[in-house]
């Protein structure tokens, strides 16, 4: 049995090394300024998102518009990422959100994180507008949501609150915010 898309996006969790999965205590990372549109993070994230949108299947008619970088969305992402919580930001305002985590830090590039979200397309039926049973596909549908025009992301290295447990106390968190948000129940992404 397949389920309709959830209004909240599921989380993406990646560990390239085998280890236990658990929860740690919360501690904030050092806050930093959000990334400018010409930063390596912004450039890589926008390019990876736009590549996915250009290659969406079935092919959208008309083509999906390219995303641009939103400094405001990046500010919200950066502020939340600094908290090192692998859980959706309930105070993110008017944004959709995708999260990812990896251990050890640096084991994934920013573009690989987006590709992991896009790989969920294998578990999404466009015709039925559903994820396969027991699978997650909401990250993918947010990436290709037609009405979304902007993205702003942040990444931080965290030393507390690891979703990988004590074996991997140092981990990397990505937060991407989308404007306008997507994943409305009953609506297809395009």
Q: What is the pLDDT of residues 15-35, one digit of tens each?
A: 332 222 222 333 444 456 788
The CATH number given to 3-179 is: 3.40.33.10
Helix (H) or strand (E) holding 67: none
Q: Considering the entire predicted model, what is its pTM?
A: 0.83
Structure tokens given for 125 = 């039926």
Please count the residues of the chain: 190
φ/ψ region of 106 (left if φ > 0, alpha if ψ in -120 to 50, else beta) reads left
Our CA angle for 129, 132, 133, nearest 5°, is: 125
Are 138 and 183 in contact, with CB atoms under 8 Å apart? Answer: yes
The pLDDT assigned to 4 comes to 37
């Amino acid at each position: 049995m397949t389920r309709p898309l959830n209004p909240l996006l599921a989380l993406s969790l990646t560990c390239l090394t085998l280890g236990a999965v658990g929860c740690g205590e919360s501690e904030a990372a050092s806050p930093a300024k959000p990334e400018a549109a010409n930063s390596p993070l912004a450039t890589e994230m926008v390019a990876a998102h736009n590549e996915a949108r250009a290659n969406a299947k079935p092919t959208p008619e008309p083509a999906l518009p390219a995303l641009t970088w939103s400094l405001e969305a990046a500010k919200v992402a950066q502020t939340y990422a600094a908290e090192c919580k692998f859980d959706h930001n309930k105070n993110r305002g008017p944004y959709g959100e995708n999260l990812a985590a990896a251990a050890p830090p640096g084991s994934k590039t920013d573009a690989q994180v987006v590709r992991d979200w896009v790989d969920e397309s294998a578990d999404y039926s466009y015709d039925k507008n559903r994820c396969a049973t027991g699978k997650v596909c909401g990250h993918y549908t947010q990436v290709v949501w037609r009405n979304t025009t902007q993205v702003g992301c942040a990444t931080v290295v965290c030393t507390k609150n690891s979703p990988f447990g004590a074996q991997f106390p140092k981990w990397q968190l990505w937060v991407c915010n989308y404007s306008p948000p997507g994943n409305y129940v009953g609506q297809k992404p395009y």
